Amino acid sequence: MKKKFKLQDLDCANCAAKMEDAIKKIDGVEDASVSFLTQKMTIIGDDAKFDEIVAQAVKEISMVEPDCKVLL
């Protein structure tokens, strides 16, 4: 499954890179990209685990940049 999310208050390019790396490491994720410029996150992953993946991704994001919100 491939899903796109809009991110809010993502202001640091370094943070976007860190988030992308962290999300790629989540179990079941095939590929992920976080674009600092368009404030969008794309995750391609296992259909069955997708909800867990998203929840984990949200956690990773707030660990890197606590003020960044994911618009689900």
Partner 1 sequence: MNSLTPRQRRELKEIIISGIIFFALMVAQHMNLLPESVNNAWLWCALYLVPYLIVGRDVVRKCFLGIRNGNVFDECFLMTLATVGALATQEFSEAVAVMLFYQVGEFFQRYAVGKSRNSIETLLSIAPEYANVIREDGTVEEIDPDDVEIGDTLLIRPGEKFPVDGTVIEGTGYINTSALTGESMPRSVDEGDAVISGCINGENLMKVRADKLYEDSTVMQILELVENASSKKSQTESFITRFARYYTPAVVVAALVLAFVPPIFAGNLMDWVMRACTFLVISCPCALVISVPLAFFGGIGAASRIGVLVKGSNYLEMMSELDTVVSDKTGTLTEGRFTVSDVYTADDVSRETLLGLAAAVESGSTHPIAVSICEAYDGDVTAFDVKDPVNYTGKGFGASVDGKTVLVGKRSLLEAEGISVPSLDDVAGSVCYVSADGKFIGRIAVSDSIKIGAADAISKMKQLGASKVVMLTGDSKSAAEIASKELGVTDYKAELLPADKVTWVEKLLSEITGKRRFLAFIGDGINDAPVLSRADIGIAMGSLGSDAAIEAADVVIMDDDITKVPRLMKIASKTVGISRMNIVFALAVKAICLILGALGIANMWAAVFADVGVAFICILNSMRMLTGKSENM
d(C-alpha 28, C-alpha 44), whole Å? 9
Q: Which is nearer to partner 1, 37 or 72 (CB)?
A: 37
For the bound state, the minimum distance from the C-beta of residue 19 to partner 1, rounded and expressed in Å, comes to 11
Q: How big is the CA angle at 14 (ends 33 and 10), to the nearest 5 degrees? A: 70
Q: Closer to partner 1 at the Cβ: 25 or 38?
A: 38
Q: Taking a C-beta distance cutoff of 8 angstroms, is the pair 44, 1 a contact?
A: yes
Minimum separation from the CB atom of position 57 to partner 1 (A): 15
Binding site for partner 1 (CB under 8 A): 9, 11-14, 17, 33, 35-40, 63-64, 66-67
The nearer residue to partner 1, 35 or 58, going by C-beta atoms, is 35
How many Cβ atoms are within 10 Å of 69's Cβ, its own excluded? 15
* Type of residue at 28: G
